[in-house]
Amino acid sequence: MRFKYLLIYIFIFIALQAKAQSLEEAQIRDILESVAENLPDDYDLSELIEVLGQLKKHPINLNNTNPEELKAILFLTPLQISNFFAYLKENERLIDVLELQSIDAFDTKTVESLLPFVTVNESSAYEKLSFRNLNNFGNHDVLLRAARTLEKQKGYTDLPGNRYLGTPEKIQTRYRYQFETILSVALTVDKDAGETLMGKPVDFYSGNVAIFKLGRIQKLIVGDYALQFGQGLTLWSGFSFGKGPDITGVVKKDLGLRPYNSANEYSFFRGLSATINLFKNITITPFISYRKLDASQQLDSLGNLVQATINQTGLHRTPSEIENKNTLTQQAYGTVIQYSKNDFSFGAIGYQNKFSQPFITQTALYDKDSFTGKSLTNIGLYGNYTYRNIYFFGEAAKSLNSGSAYLGGALISLSPQVSAAILYRNYAPNYHNFFNQAISEATEATNEKGLYAGLNITPNKKWIFSFYGDYFKFPWLKYRINGPSDGYEILSQAVYSPKKTLRFLARFKTENKLQNNDLNTALDVLDQVKREGYRVEINWQLNKTWSFENRIEFSQFKKGNSSSEFGRLIYQDVNYQPPFSKISANMRLAYFNTPSYNSRIYAYEDDVLYSFAFGLYNGKGFRSYFNIKYSLGKKLNFWARYGLFIYQETTTIGTYLDEIQGNKKSEIKIQMRYQF
């Protein structure tokens, strides 16, 4: 009998986990596709789910937690977090995790998804801390990944002048050590495709040692770290979410100081930082960082080295890229003070960047307000407050001697079925900040005003509707927009899941902006540019082993009076995941046809663990990929991926150094993970 119950329990647990994972994955997919246009290729988004992987192993103790810890769980909204602490204050402690269901704004779905990541059991990790335990109970995690494009790209041939000096392999190695929730060590080593290892062991390395919850010291990190505060207007390094079908995503959940675990080579700090509990409710996070950046430098009239911009790609493949590597040093130091009490939290930020060489004005007129000089001081105030069912948030920021920026908004749970978000933003064209990730239509949160309003409706368990509209204005010129301009974006989406194994999705998105017209007139006239996307998607599960996804997407692009062009994408995904099997696999077969790059379509692609990819479908042809995972016991896992593009009606693929002769582009990737 007992055995039977145990089995049932195991099945429920697996089902719950699978569900949590799919909710998480669906959310990441949505977010990725919506930010794809503004992210560079190969952007490492592994940090997004790595946190959750850790939480599964070391669940958060709900009776001894803080808002920052809960913010790491992607699908919790700020209002839910705030309500949770209000509940905890009233009831002192939770006796069972399922008690969460009685808290406002927590629906069954959220609670189910949350279960793997939280607990109510007390145990102080420091009591167990000893050298022997560090070895016995700590988790080591080693991950090796290698990938390359099989066809020869032009940059690897014997070109005179600029060419790729290294090999086409992309290699990444990461090591993580975690002891309960109090100690972690991380090391990431990375070589991009085309980079050479001549004369050095690695091209990029990043690492840190972090200690948590040690008396008054909440966090202490030596090495590479990220800082994320408020709504990202003053101080936010690394990735941040933007507008997406989940409207609550416009409210940023700041995680404060965190270890930096990504392979992106630009947006992080290197040095020392700690979050210390000064008094009750008040924490202080001082930080100091010293690191080198890539910049293309030139001599000014006095013979001094200057630069106009920083190169953020982290690629060091060609002689000029190698020459620009680590040419600029950046020193950053500052402090964040934060007061949080129940439903109110407020913070102040002040920090300074000092560069070894000064920035000069950029040549383009639209960049005339860009940062110049050697030193930049940023200050900012942020806060949030929960009143009944409304979560207010806002941030105001200023770069000293130049512009200011602010944003404010509210997240409202109008009824148990309906939530709404509203956000107003106003960023001056001369607001300067090297760590600004606030919500914006443009890639950078400057030179923009806008009003966003969104609505999520879940009338019952089967339906979810989302809408948002965003109106924005660019007071100063922008790239390819030689005049002040405005535009708007509207998204509406309906998701219908009649049963657990079946899900339909329909989405419509339209975006209208202004852009220079294509005629070379002496005076630039702005043309209306309209981009629309229509998507229909079906997810269905045949049985416990096989599941499928089909999608059809149309894109429309229309500029000025010229006629519309239509792009289309259709694909079939097949997922093979037998329960308790060592092998799982998935594949895609897609056909795409877009008349030009203007009507390109982005779609999320499955990849090896911790590697995220969004496919860019442009041109005409077929796309296929195949992923396979093999588990050799619990500790050792292998992944392999093969992806292929076959284009029609073309003889070369790619541009400049990435050009391939022929109409085929294929990539292989292998990965190994060993946990002990």
* 319, 416, 578, 579: residue in contact with another protein (rule CB under 8 A): 416
- What single letter denotes the amino acid at residue 639? W
Each residue of 112-133: b (16+ CB within 10 Å) or e? bbbbbbbbbeeeebeeeeeeee
User: How far is it, in rounded angstroms, from Cα 468 to Cα 461?
Assistant: 21
User: Which residue from 619, 639, 642 is spatially nearest to 629, judged by alpha carbons?
Assistant: 639
Query: Is 578 near another protein (CB under 8 A)?
Result: no
By beta-carbon proximity to another protein, the closer residue of 414 and 525 is: 414
Is 486 a residue that touches another protein (CB under 8 A)? Answer: yes
The CB-of-454 to another protein minimum distance in angstroms stands at: 10
Region from 223-231, 242-250, 340-348, 407-415 binding another protein, contact rule CB under 8 A: 407-415
Distances (CA, A) of 670 to 51, 143, 205, 345, 381: 23, 11, 20, 45, 46
Q: CB-wise, 460 or 543, nearer to another protein?
A: 460
Least distance to another protein, CB of residue 423, Å: 12
Nearer to another protein, 105 or 193 (CB): 105
Counting contacts by CB under 8 A, is residue 236 touching another protein? no
- Among candidate residues 528, 493, 497, 531, the one with its CA nearest the CA of residue 511: 531
3-state secondary structure of 433: coil
In angstroms, give the least distance from the CB of 455 to another protein.
7
191 φ/ψ angles, rounded to the nearest 5 degrees = -130, 120
Contact, 494 vs 465, CB < 8 A?
Answer: yes
Part of the chain binding another protein (CB under 8 A), chosen from 373-381, 425-433, 452-460, 542-550 = 452-460
- Containing 256, the helix (H) or strand (E) segment is strand 256-259
Total Cβ atoms within 10 A of residue 371: 23
Please identify, among the stretches 178-186, 279-287, 455-463, 665-673, the one whose residues bind another protein according to the rule CB under 8 A: 455-463
Q: Measure the CA–CA gap between 574 and 394, rounded to whole angstroms.
A: 44
Q: Residue 486 or residue 565: which is nearer to another protein going by CB?
A: 486
Q: At what angle do helices 47-57 and 2-35 cross, to 10 degrees?
A: 160
Is residue 474 near another protein by the rule CB under 8 A?
no
Q: Which residues, 6+ apart, have CB-to-CB distance to 68 below 8 Å? A: 254, 255, 256
CA angle 456/461/464 to nearest 5° reads: 30
Q: Which of 459, 498, 578, 579 binds another protein (CB under 8 A)?
A: 459
By CB under 8 A, which span of 123-131, 328-336, 454-462, 621-629 interacts with another protein? 454-462
Smallest separation (angstroms) from another protein to the CB of 359 = 35
Position 412 contacts another protein (CB under 8 A): yes
Among 250, 455, 505, 660, binds another protein (CB under 8 A): 455
Distance CA 102, CA 119 (A): 16
Which stretch, 45-53, 417-425, 599-607, 631-639, contacts another protein (CB under 8 A)? Answer: 417-425
Exposed / middle / buried, residue 343 (Cβ in 10 Å: 0-12, 13-18, 19+): middle
426 is an interface residue for another protein by CB under 8 A = no
Number of residues that bind another protein (CB under 8 A): 21
Residues 76 and 253: their CA atoms lie apart, in Å, by 9
Select the residue interacting with another protein from 284, 453, 570, 587 (CB under 8 A).
453
- The one among 271, 286, 403, 469 contacting another protein by CB under 8 A: 469
170 versus 509: smaller Cβ distance to another protein: 509
Position 467 contacts another protein (CB under 8 A): yes
**526 scored as a contact of another protein (CB under 8 A):** no
**With binding defined as CB under 8 A, does residue 488 bind another protein?**
yes
**Residue 70 CB, nearest distance to another protein (Å)?**
27
Q: Is 504 in the site for another protein (CB under 8 A)?
A: no
Instruction: Quote the least distance from Cβ 510 to another protein, whole Å.
Output: 7
| DSSP states of 269-289 | EEEEEEEEEEETTEEEEEEEE
Cβ closest to another protein, residue 486 vs residue 658:
486
Nearer of residues 381 and 422 to another protein, judged by Cβ: 422
Could you tell me the two tokens for 570? 């259709």
From CA 234, how far away is CA 378, in angstroms rounded?
Answer: 7
Nearer CB in complex with another protein: 418/609: 418
Binding another protein (rule: CB under 8 A), the pick from 422, 536, 587, 672 is 422
The separation between the first and the last C-alpha atoms of the chain, rounded to the nearest angstrom, is 34
Q: Considering the rule CB under 8 A, would residue 40 count as an interface residue with another protein?
A: no
| Contact stretch for another protein (CB under 8 A) within 61-69, 75-83, 410-418, 600-608 | 410-418
Asked if 494 interacts with another protein (CB under 8 A), we say no
Pairing state between β 269-279 and 169-179:
unpaired
Separation CA 652–CA 343 (nearest Å): 58
CB of 469: closest distance to another protein in angstroms?
A: 4
CB of 13 to another protein, least distance (A): 34
Question: Is 512 among the residues that bind another protein (CB under 8 A)?
Answer: yes
* Binding segment (CB under 8 A) for another protein, from list 150-158, 367-375, 485-493, 558-566: 485-493
Burial code (b: 16+ CB inside 10 Å, e: under 16) for 135-163 equals eeeeeebbbebebbbebebbbbeeeeeeb
- Interface residue list for another protein (CB under 8 A): 412, 414-418, 420, 422, 451, 453, 455, 457, 459, 467, 469, 471, 486, 488, 490, 510, 512
